[in-house]
Amino acid sequence: MNPETIIIGLTMFILACFAGAELISKVPPTLHTPLMSGSNAISGIAILGALLATGHPESFNSISVIGFLAVILATINVVGGYLVTHRMLQMFKK
Amino acid sequence: MNPETIIIGLTMFILACFAGAELISKVPPTLHTPLMSGSNAISGIAILGALLATGHPESFNSISVIGFLAVILATINVVGGYLVTHRMLQMFKK
Amino acid sequence: MSQHIINLIYLLAATLFMIGIKYLSSPDTAKKGNFLSMIGMGAAIGATLAAPEINGFTLIIGGIIIGTVIGAYIAIKVKMTAMPQMVGLLNGCGGAASALVGLAEFQGNSTGFTPFTLLTLLLSLIIGGLTFTGSLMAYAKLQGLIPSRPVTYRGQQAINGIIVLATVALSWLVFRDSTNILAISGVLVFSLGLGVLAVIPIGGADMPVIICLLNAYSGLAVSMTGFALSNNALIITGSLVGASGIFLTKIMCDAMNRSLANVLFSAFGKVDESAAATGEIPTGTMKGYEVEDVATILANAGSLIIVPGYGMAAAQAQHATRELADYLGEQGVEVRYAIHPVAGRMPGHMNVLLAEADVSYDQLFAMEDINDDFAATDVVLVIGANDVVNPAAKTNPNSPIYGMPVLDVEKARTVIVLKRSLNVGFAGIENELFYMDNTRMLFGDARSSLQKLLAALKK
Amino acid sequence: MSQHIINLIYLLAATLFMIGIKYLSSPDTAKKGNFLSMIGMGAAIGATLAAPEINGFTLIIGGIIIGTVIGAYIAIKVKMTAMPQMVGLLNGCGGAASALVGLAEFQGNSTGFTPFTLLTLLLSLIIGGLTFTGSLMAYAKLQGLIPSRPVTYRGQQAINGIIVLATVALSWLVFRDSTNILAISGVLVFSLGLGVLAVIPIGGADMPVIICLLNAYSGLAVSMTGFALSNNALIITGSLVGASGIFLTKIMCDAMNRSLANVLFSAFGKVDESAAATGEIPTGTMKGYEVEDVATILANAGSLIIVPGYGMAAAQAQHATRELADYLGEQGVEVRYAIHPVAGRMPGHMNVLLAEADVSYDQLFAMEDINDDFAATDVVLVIGANDVVNPAAKTNPNSPIYGMPVLDVEKARTVIVLKRSLNVGFAGIENELFYMDNTRMLFGDARSSLQKLLAALKK
Amino acid sequence: MMMKLAILKETEEGEHRVALIPDSIKRLSQKGFAVLVEAGAGSSAGYSDQEYEQAGATLVSSAQKLAEQADCVVKVRPPSLEEVEVLRNSSVFIAILQPALRLDLVKKLAEKQITSFGLDLIPRTTLAQSMDVLSSMSTIAGYKAVLLAADTINRFFPMLMTAAGTIAPAKVLVIGAGVAGLMACATAKRLGGVVEAFDVRPEVKEQVHSVGAKFIEVPVNEDGSGGGGYAKVMSDEYKQKQAELISRHISKSDVVIPTALIPGRKAPILISEEQVASMKPGSVIVDLAAEMGGNCALTQPGQTIIAHGVTIIGHSNLPSSLSFHASQMLSRNIEKFLLHLCDEKGFQMNMEDEITRGSLVTKDGKVIHELTSK
Amino acid sequence: MMMKLAILKETEEGEHRVALIPDSIKRLSQKGFAVLVEAGAGSSAGYSDQEYEQAGATLVSSAQKLAEQADCVVKVRPPSLEEVEVLRNSSVFIAILQPALRLDLVKKLAEKQITSFGLDLIPRTTLAQSMDVLSSMSTIAGYKAVLLAADTINRFFPMLMTAAGTIAPAKVLVIGAGVAGLMACATAKRLGGVVEAFDVRPEVKEQVHSVGAKFIEVPVNEDGSGGGGYAKVMSDEYKQKQAELISRHISKSDVVIPTALIPGRKAPILISEEQVASMKPGSVIVDLAAEMGGNCALTQPGQTIIAHGVTIIGHSNLPSSLSFHASQMLSRNIEKFLLHLCDEKGFQMNMEDEITRGSLVTKDGKVIHELTSK
Ligand SMILES: NC(=O)c1ccc[n+]([C@@H]2O[C@H](COP(=O)([O-])OP(=O)(O)OC[C@H]3O[C@@H](n4cnc5c(N)ncnc54)[C@H](OP(=O)(O)O)[C@@H]3O)[C@@H](O)[C@H]2O)c1
Ligand SMILES: NC(=O)c1ccc[n+]([C@@H]2O[C@H](COP(=O)([O-])OP(=O)(O)OC[C@H]3O[C@@H](n4cnc5c(N)ncnc54)[C@H](OP(=O)(O)O)[C@@H]3O)[C@@H](O)[C@H]2O)c1
Ligand SMILES: NC(=O)c1ccc[n+]([C@@H]2O[C@H](COP(=O)([O-])OP(=O)(O)OC[C@H]3O[C@@H](n4cnc5c(N)ncnc54)[C@H](O)[C@@H]3O)[C@@H](O)[C@H]2O)c1
Ligand SMILES: NC(=O)c1ccc[n+]([C@@H]2O[C@H](COP(=O)([O-])OP(=O)(O)OC[C@H]3O[C@@H](n4cnc5c(N)ncnc54)[C@H](O)[C@@H]3O)[C@@H](O)[C@H]2O)c1
């Protein structure tokens, strides 16, 4: 990993932090719980890492077991997160 | 310029757009004029390009003349922009 | 699929996430936002599956199916009231996944890490691990599986300190030799322990804040994983979640009028006091509430009864009262006023003031006409009244006001009391209404509290 | 200095710019924000000067000195009232700089451009060029160097269309052969022309919107330059400016209740009408104003006189009036009420209502006591009054109310009139006050207008 | 030449007002008027002779002496025939004249070649509002009517919820929402009453709402507006529906304040004896039309009677009871009127002028005013 | 056994109230009381005999016949000695007794072995508020005082800016901000007056503000609160400063409403003759302490006089003028008091009870009440 990639990563990190904080600050208190669970679902993006770990060419070793677990957990996070958010938002219909 | 750089550039472009728009949307109407001139000053960042063009090793050719002009104009933008903003903000003191 | 296209899709996903969060800022668009966010996630997963590195699909598909079934099941089964702990649990899964990915990376690629990668890998392991156990603890506390009160014991701070130091030390070992499996496992174990220890001294009422904070942590963990894997999608999304989680935590702390440090560490050194202080007060979650919370309660009320008392008169808050009532009325809330015969300091005190503020006589109800309706009312807003809503008049034969008819406000779903303090009223007696489960106190001058409430509602 | 460190400094600069903009959202921190933004700019310039590519400093230093002197001079000399056009002018400089950088790039590196680079270079040339001339036109219009009214002529749209097409065609030539100097110059010239032609059909009153839009354009140009030079600092900063400029433009259009398209193209096809419609109305900028604008005016007032009339009574807006007045009073605005002897429909009508709303008698002034003070007053808020503020009573001997003493509201800096329409009052006569230069009409029921104003002020 | 202006002391029983107060005299003196005041003219309104002298007026002990010297005499109430006797021939006389009710008085004024103006005849235009005594006196009457009612009735006006039970608010019905009616509505509302108003002119609906009262509408499509903002005589169908409507509301009201007038005619009878009988005992009617015969069939002008348990107040001069402020307002009206009629050189009598022409009753031995001369 | 409850008709001149109204009788009958009413007892308050009968009361033509049968007799005003004569020995008697002012009456009641309760002696505790006739009657007095003042004065209360000049608002000074004083403040404020209030108890400052009036503070650090929310007698220094302060404010006021009472004593004199003379002619004083001698030196209890041009109203029974609502409130108070004293089986006389003990004047031939027995 060369310094340039690190700097680019940092840049994105900072930009995303700004965007995230500013976006959140406009959410009204009533929507804080759905927001929490919605952003929680997003954090399931770790699934990408899990997929990459599990899909490694060499089949079935400790890595793929760990990866497998990671995929399950991340999927729970993603699926559960979105569904829970959706259910909460259902209650907001007028 | 390889595709990767382009994608990275695009990513930054989009992130910065989000951050910019969200940041602005919180500025109260009273501060719109200073904001306009403040962000105008920032757009003087084009000076970096001008500097790079002017500072090229081969001395004094059409490029450095163009660059020279660009440096002047960009500096006007930067210096004038910040000062004007500052003057406007002076009026807001309680 | 070429890596470039995958990266472009990642960018798309990140954009959709941001738009999704943006749409969450209004109830009208929130559902759409959630869908967009889902689409983004789907796209990112799809693109990854199409990546050249991936060629074994059995485990992946199996994992996804299992995860989907479990996730969907618990999400559908969970009761609406158990939502906060559910979010905590899901969050824990995310943290665990990050930690596992970090672990896998250590296993797969045991040499040749740059220091930066190593650092980020370790961080994703630690943060992911403590997010996992911390979330589980939060879940257990809220679900009532373990006692929700703050658990403290002698030497707690010392023990926590030692564990933090141990984690740092082990990390150092890993840093020097990235194949040291023992040290790596040690880091993992200690960070799991840290998660447990950090959450147990925090009271159940503060768990939502903790869940929010852990959510931010899981975002950070993802970000670190992203740095380790040089995956911009993870970096961006993780930092998005991290920043928003931290911001949300701050907003929630502000709303409780406490600092984050106070939430995290308030239990320490209070082992003795807390028991004493809780004396009369029932399950003591009802500290001071903030304007935003109260506004939310009012905004979601279907029926409201306003109970004015001498405090409204003293604060000259009659105009502010009418403004708030009118606004809520326009929003479709059914608003009535309950006038206790001796509210205020002269007969008809409330009538005179409310008439000045142009409140229609039709909205005013005498005690005997409205007392039966409290039980079917969503919210009661008590504005500077005290004695006239004191349940002791009905329940406590030793009270000097025992036998005086009072307004049965405590029968309503929620009671909001606007006062400046817990001070007594004219009769000089304590009021247990203020400590009841369904009561929320909003402290401050009634007029300014009402004005702030109105401003918050209009936002 | 190594490129990595330079890049880090660029990142720092971008962060400072963002924090600067964030701080601009409150008057208390705005100045600090501007300073932070300056520091960021200084750091970025410093880092660039330390870059290995740069080794000739004479021109650079000369340019910077000249630019600083000119920039500082005009910034210090400009009158406060001329600020908007000054911003326009400065913005033009920025656009020109982008265009010139693009041009220099074409010159320096005439072959070996990837198509993407070529595209971005061309865009920076075009956008920069039209920003330059467009800004100059906006400056000239606002400064009164050229007539500020919309300039339209037969076939205008056709001509503009042709120029756009020509620019595209020439760009295509450049795309195919990036050494085609003629085509490059052509693109530049045509984009300069476009800037002029796009702005002349727009009226002077809309110039602030245009300046804002051009500001966004200059940001875009910078961004494009950044893409062309692979300079992340330029990309980020440019898109920051671009996005905020576009957003600001939208906010301003919303505040005028017009679409951007309407601002840009309203003059087309109206060559005949406009002359007729302006008949009696002086320099016709005073269409309907919106709540936000009026709130801004009120927020910046030092002194305010409220003139209530029958419309306040009809709208039962007395409470809303007091609320607004009280709020402004708390913000430090000096608020008084001017009561015309025959305002309303019965003697003392206004007194009765304002007393009901609990307005202190000390704030009420009879006409003879306050009429001389209007000239020294920042803002007059006329709430549903008409005949009693009709200047015709003083100026038009043919008016049926000629000779009746009226309130001299038109002498104040700004007059805001809340009414539902341009309808006449009791006396049934037109009121030229509504068409005066310093009058702003806010149409709508007085009560709801006042409530909206208060909400806007509290935001 | 200095205009000599004389202020007569009121002679009518129960009349406490005075035509000009020291404040106005100060301003008129500056404009070149010489003012003479009959001693004690202002005392019953709270303005002492001393204050008049300080304001620049000359005190004169008798009306006789005063009238002999004056170019112009001002007074509040219409003069008695004896008072006219005293006036100098060909002088100018200004007062509330009510010429349509006092034809002999008008004849006498004309005989004496007196130029007389009726303050009550000043047209009700926007421009003339500062001289409009009818408006200012109606304001007082509307206010005072409510106070009288509140002081007479055996109930509270406001609603009060007390430990001794809930007091229901008084129901107030105002009939005729002109200046007096609107003021009555506003005052009753202030005191906490539940106020309804009724008028034949539909455009006053908005005005009634603007003082916080409810408007009662007759379900017939007929506009009762006559010229100049006054009411006209209504059709029979309308009258019947109106009577039914009023009946319904009267029987529920605790206080009724009728104010309906039609210019130059006897006041319409809007409340019959049966309607009075339908009211609760203890209720109150304050008939503001009493001076023009009354809107209630039982009203005795100038008297307070109790019929069917209902108190009917027929006070014919309510403004006089607020003598201090009534005089202040009248004085300001008359001051503006004088300044309108003349400049320092004397009376201008611009007969083109709507206000002058409208208020002139007699001049050069002729009766000018239309309604009266018919 | 059914309790027989009798309502006497008031005999005092100008007393229009009645002790119990049909509404209360309906509820009392349900609780097991048999109610007898002297014919015509409620008519002057607006409650007809018919209504009483409908409510379940038995009409009895004379007080004599009534008293013979009754276990308990209720009345508003203290009875005359003749009225006591009529009462049955050993029966229960309830009225506003003011025993400290009527020692012979109390003696007579004791002699007749009558168990008598003074409604005016009920302790002013939170619990007793629903029986507190002093509070309810003070409410009426405060309201009515302002109406009387507004109806008497020759000025407007509200400020009005009109074409006929600006009307200055009336300045109202309320001295003593108890229940009546606060109600007076609130009512005068409603009518548009500029209201100031003064009291020796500093804690009422907040209460005065709470009804929209200004509070005047004496610049001496002395707390005037006696026991039970009543005022005590103040020091001489305080009295002097207070007098100066009141002087300053009185001379600027158009209306002064003193309400200061100290329980069981003559009312303090707070307004001297010089202070009255310093007021503008036409001003009004409504002395709510008239019955206890008055707060103004010139007050003639029960009369309205004019001194130094100032009208001083010493009406000693203002509540009676709002007879309808006053009776409603009194009736509710008495009803609650009766229900407190007894259940269906008869009087319980729990002497432990603060309210019963506090209000008892005579029992078993002895005078019980402290202040009176001293
Ligand atoms: N109605 C009558 O005729 C009458 C006459 C005399 C006495 N009383 C007695 O007065 C009492 C009336 O009961 P209530 O419930 O109306 O009043 P209360 O029991 O006296 O309570 C009033 C409460 O208002 C709060 N308060 C005071 N100023 C405030 C402000 N500016 N903003 C917000 N809150 C404020 C006070 O709490 P904080 O200090 O914590 O803010 C106080 O606890 C009864 O005990 C009654 O017996 C009534
Ligand atoms: N004071 C008196 O004693 C008295 C008595 C009788 C007549 N007058 C006459 O009344 C007039 C008084 O002058 P003024 O300036 O007070 O009133 P005005 O000239 O009658 O004008 C009132 C204005 O208020 C506006 N309006 C009505 N309802 C409204 C609502 N709900 N929200 C917002 N605006 C509303 C109307 O315009 P839109 O329809 O466009 O909204 C109207 O132009 C004078 O001509 C006077 O001579 C006075
Ligand atoms: N131009 C001005 O500025 C100005 C000044 C003063 C008054 N005015 C207007 O002049 C008009 C007359 O005012 P006024 O107070 O002297 O009126 P008024 O005393 O002549 O009559 C009182 C009211 O009684 C109503 N009325 C008549 N017959 C009725 C009936 N049968 N039933 C019910 N109501 C009936 C009338 O419509 C009027 O509103 C009003 O509209 C007033 O606004 C205008
Ligand atoms: N417990 C309850 O619920 C309840 C019920 C009714 C009244 N109260 C309280 O009882 C108290 C007495 O009420 P009240 O209206 O019968 O009082 P009151 O009639 O005895 O006296 C009227 C007022 O005059 C004041 N005063 C006395 N001497 C004065 C002087 N020299 N100068 C100025 N002011 C003087 C007193 O302080 C009092 O406020 C009040 O505080 C009232 O709130 C309590």
For D398-429, how does the pLDDT look when each residue is reduced to its tens digit (9 = 90+)? 888 888 889 999 988 889 999 988 888 888 88
Q: DSSP secondary-structure letter at C361?
A: G
The mean per-residue pLDDT over the stretch F218-222 comes to: 70
Please report which confidence band the pLDDT of residue D286 belongs to, taking 50, 70 and 90 as the band edges: very low
DSSP C229-275: HT-HHHHHHHHHHHHHHHHHHHHHHHHTT--HHHHHHTTTT-HHHHH
Give the pLDDT band of residue F338 (cuts 50, 70, 90): very high
Same domain assignment for residues D334 and D365: yes
Q: Give the model's confidence band at C136: pLDDT under 50 very low, under 70 low, under 90 confident, else very high.
A: very high
Kindly report, residue by residue over C305-321, the tens digit of the pLDDT: 999 999 999 898 999 99
| Rounded Cα gap, residues D36 and D105, in angstroms | 31
Q: Between E288 and C375, where is the model more confident? A: E288
- What does the pLDDT read at residue C22? 85
Q: Which amino acid is at F365?
A: G
Please determine, for residue C286, whether its predicted confidence score (pLDDT) is greater than 60. Answer: no
Q: State percent of chain D over pLDDT 90.
A: 26
pLDDT category at D280 given cuts 50, 70, 90 is very low
CB E217 within 8 A of CB E200: no
Partner F contacted by C349 (CB < 8 A)? yes
Q: Do chains F and A touch (3 or more CB pairs under 8 A)?
A: no
Q: What pLDDT score does F328 carry?
A: 96
Query: Which of D336, D342, D361 has the most F C-beta neighbours within 10 Å, making it the best mutation to test the interface with F?
Result: D361
Segment F311-322 shows an average pLDDT of 94
d(CA C75, CA A84): 5
As a whole number of angstroms, the longest Cα–Cα distance in chain B is: 54
Examine the domain organization and report whether F166 and F255 are in the same domain.
yes
Give the model's pLDDT for residue C330: 87
pLDDT confidence tier of residue E1, bands split at 50, 70 and 90: low
Query: Average model confidence (pLDDT) for chain C?
Result: 84
Mutate which of E137, E200, E217 for ligand 3 pocket (most atoms within 8 A of beta carbon): E200
Contacts of B36 in chain D (CB under 8 A): 87, 211-212, 215, 245, 248
Examine the pLDDT at D265 and tell me if it is beyond 80.
Answer: no
pTM score, whole prediction: 0.68
Task: With CA atoms as reference, report the closest residue to D264 among D197, D191, D320.
Answer: D197
Domain residues for the domain of D390 are 282-458
Does D129 have pLDDT greater than 80? yes
Report the 10 Å Cβ neighbour count for F87: 25
Q: Show which of C24, C56, C77 is a domain's final residue.
A: C77
Q: What is the pLDDT of residue C267?
A: 52
Confidence bin at C258 (pLDDT 50/70/90): low
Average pLDDT, chain E: 89
Residues C288 and C327 in one domain: yes
Kindly state whether B52 is in contact with chain C, defined as any CB-CB distance less than 8 angstroms. no
> What is the reported pLDDT for B30?
64
Q: Running DSSP on this structure, what letter comes out for residue F9?
A: P
E299 lies in the same domain as E337: no
Ligand approaching nearest to the C-alpha of F271: 4
- Same domain as D212, residue D138: yes
Cα dihedral angle (E362, E368, E371, E372), rounded to 10 degrees?
40
**DSSP E strands: which ranges in E90-169?**
92-95, 115-118, 160-162, 165-167
**Together in a domain, E68 and E159:** no
Tell me how far apart the alpha carbons of residues D412 and D435 are, in angstroms, rounded to a whole number. 15
pLDDT band, very low/low/confident/very high, at C201 (cuts 50, 70, 90): confident
Query: Which pLDDT value is given to residue F1?
Result: 57
Asked if C28 is an active-site residue, the reply is: no
Residue A20 has what pLDDT? Answer: 80
Say what the pLDDT of residue E229 is.
58
State which amino acid sits at residue D43: A
Contact E326, F164 (CB under 8 A): no
Q: How confident is the model at residue D273 (pLDDT cuts 50, 70, 90)?
A: very low
The per-residue pLDDT for D110 is 57
Joined together, the tokens standing for residue B77 give 């933008």
Q: Across residues D97-116, what is the average pLDDT?
A: 81
Least confident range from C328-337, D435-444, E28-37: namely: D435-444
Residue C439 contacts residue C286 (beta carbons within 8 Å)? yes
**Going by C-beta distance under 8 Å and a sequence separation of 6 or more, which residues neighbour residue E218?**
E198, E200, E238, E241, E242, E245
- Do C236 and C161 lie in one domain? The reply is yes
Residue D118 forms part of a structural domain: yes
β-strand pairing of F160-162 with F165-167: antiparallel
Q: Which residue in this structure is represented by tokens 């710019």?
A: D17
Measured N-to-C along each axis, helices D156-176 and D181-199 cross at an angle, to the nearest 10 degrees, of 150
Count CB neighbours of D80 within 10 A.
10
pLDDT of E374: 58
Last residue of a domain, one of D77, D98, D128: D77
Residue A94 has a pLDDT of 43
Distance from D401 to chain E by nearest Cα, in Å?
Answer: 6
pLDDT at D403: 83
Centroid of chain to Cα E3 = 28
Q: Please, what's the b/e burial string for E212-250 (b: 16 or more CB within 10 A of its CB; e: otherwise)? A: bbebbebeeeeebeeeeeebeebeeebbebbbebbeebb
Residue D83 main-chain phi, psi, to 5 deg? -55, -50
Are F148 and F223 part of one and the same domain?
A: yes
> Quick one: tokens of C229?
């894997």
Ligand 1: lining residues by beta carbon, under 6 Å = C 309-311, 314-315, 342-347, 349, 384-388, 418-421, 423, 425-427, 445-446; F 126, 129, 135
- CA C394/CA F308 separation, integer angstroms: 57
Q: Is the residue at C274 inside a domain? A: no
Kindly state whether residues D2 and D58 are assigned to the same domain.
Answer: yes
- Over pLDDT 70: what percentage of chain D? 91
Q: What is the DSSP letter of D450?
A: H
Residues 6+ apart with CB under 8 A from C402: C392, C393, C394, C396, F127
| D128 pLDDT more than 80 | yes
Q: How confident is the model at residue C287 (pLDDT cuts 50, 70, 90)?
A: very low
Phi-psi region of C155 (alpha: psi -120 to 50; beta: other; left: phi over 0): left
Residues C348-352, mean pLDDT to the nearest whole number = 87
Give the span between the Cα atoms of E105 and E367, in whole angstroms.
Answer: 11
Average pLDDT over residues E208-212: 90
The pLDDT of residue D270? 42
For residues E182 and E198, give the distance between their C-alpha atoms in angstroms, rounded to a whole number: 10
Task: Using alpha carbons, select from E108, E106, E134 the residue that is nearest to residue E121.
Answer: E134
For chain F, how many structural domains are there in total? 2
pLDDT digits (tens, 9 = 90+) for C400-452: 888 888 999 998 888 999 998 888 888 888 888 988 878 888 888 999 999 88
Residue with tokens 């005989």: E111
d(CA D247, CA E174): 57
C289 and C429 part of one domain: yes
Q: What is the mean pLDDT of residues E149-153?
A: 96
**Burial grade of D402 (CB within 10 A; 0-12, 13-18, 19 or more):** middle
* pLDDT tens by residue, F238-297: 788 888 888 999 999 999 999 998 877 789 999 999 999 999 999 999 999 998 899 999
Ligand 4: which atom is nearest the Cα of residue F234? Answer: 31
| Residue E126 domain-assigned (yes or no) | no
Helix ranges (H only) for C50-114 are 58-77, 83-108
Strand, helix or coil at C283?
coil
Counting as contact any 3 or more CB pairs under 8 A, the partners of D are A, B, C, E, F
Token pair 């699934």 is at which residue? A47
Residues F273 and F142 in one domain: yes
> Could you tell me the pLDDT band of residue C270, with boundaries at 50, 70 and 90?
very low
Residue C342 has pLDDT above 60, yes or no: yes
Min mean pLDDT across C21-35, C139-153, F315-329 is at: C139-153
| Residue-wise pLDDT tens digits, E311-331 | 999 998 999 999 999 999 999
- Per-residue model confidence as pLDDT tens digits over A12-21: 888 888 888 7
Q: In what order do the strands lie in the sheet containing F33-38?
A: F58-60, F33-38, F3-7, F72-74, F92-95, F115-118, F360-363, F366-367
| Higher-confidence position of D378 and E231 | D378
Provide mean pLDDT across the span C32-43: 91
Cβ(D343)–Cβ(D309) below 8 Å: yes
Q: What are the distances in angstroms from CA F228 to CA C424, F126, F224?
A: 17, 11, 12
pLDDT, position E223: 66
Q: Are residues C290 and C237 in the same domain?
A: no
For residue F126, being part of any structural domain is answered with: no
Domain ranges of chain B: 3-91
DSSP string, C298-351: HHT-SEEEEEE-HHHHHTT-HHHHHHHHHHHHHTT-EEEEEE-TT-SSSTTHHH
Evaluate whether residue F32 is within a structural domain. Answer: yes
- D8 versus C389: the higher-pLDDT residue is C389
Q: Residues F197-215: what's their mean pLDDT?
A: 90
Among D18, D46, D77, which residue terminates a domain? D77
Helix (H, G, I), strand (E, B) or coil at E42: coil
Q: What SS3 state is found at C382?
A: strand
Which pLDDT score, from 0 to 100, does residue D266 have? 59
- Give tens-digit pLDDT for C87-133: 888 989 999 999 999 888 887 765 677 888 888 889 999 999 999 99
Residues E91-116 have a mean pLDDT of 91
Which residue of F259, F269, F291, F292 sits with most ligand 4 atoms within 8 Å of its CB, as the best mutation to test the pocket?
Answer: F259
Q: How confident is the model at residue C381 (pLDDT cuts 50, 70, 90)?
A: very high
pLDDT tier, D282 (very low <50, low <70, confident <90, very high otherwise): very low
Do residue D43 and residue D93 come from a single domain? no
Among F318, F327, F266, F345, smallest CA distance to F100 is for F266
C209 vs F72, which has greater pLDDT?
F72
Domains held by chain D: number: 3
- C-alpha torsion angle, residues E295, E300, E303, E309 (rounded to 10): -80
CB E301 within 8 A of CB E293: yes
Q: What is the DSSP string of F39-101?
A: TTTTGGGT--HHHHHHTTPEEES-HHHHHHH-SEEE-SSPPPHHHHHHSPTT-EEEE---GGG
pLDDT at residue D283 is higher than 70: no
Q: Per the domain annotation, does D276 fall within a domain?
A: no
Is C47 within a domain? Answer: yes
In Å, how far is A11's CA from the nearest CA of chain C?
Answer: 10
- Please compute the mean of the pLDDT values over residues C286-299 and round it to a whole number: 74
What pLDDT score does F256 carry? 97
Domain at F60, CATH number = 3.40.50.720
Q: Are E105 and E160 in a shared domain?
A: no
Write the pLDDT tens digit of every residue in B19-71: 887 777 777 666 777 888 888 888 888 888 888 888 766 556 778 888 889 99
Position F116 scores a pLDDT of 93
Asked if residue E85 and residue E37 are part of one domain, the reply reads: yes
Q: Per-residue confidence at D256, pLDDT binned at 50, 70, 90? A: low
**Are C329 and C406 in the same domain?**
yes
Q: Both C302 and C354 in a single domain?
A: yes
Does residue D369 fall inside a structural domain? Answer: yes
What pLDDT does D274 receive? 35
**In B, residues 73-92, which contact A (CB 8 Å cutoff)?**
none
Residue D276 scores a pLDDT above 60: no
Question: Which pLDDT value is given to residue A40?
Answer: 86
Q: Which domain holds residue F20?
A: 3-121+322-366
Residue B10 pLDDT exceeds 90 = no
Least CB-CB distance to B7: which of C11, C18, C22? C11
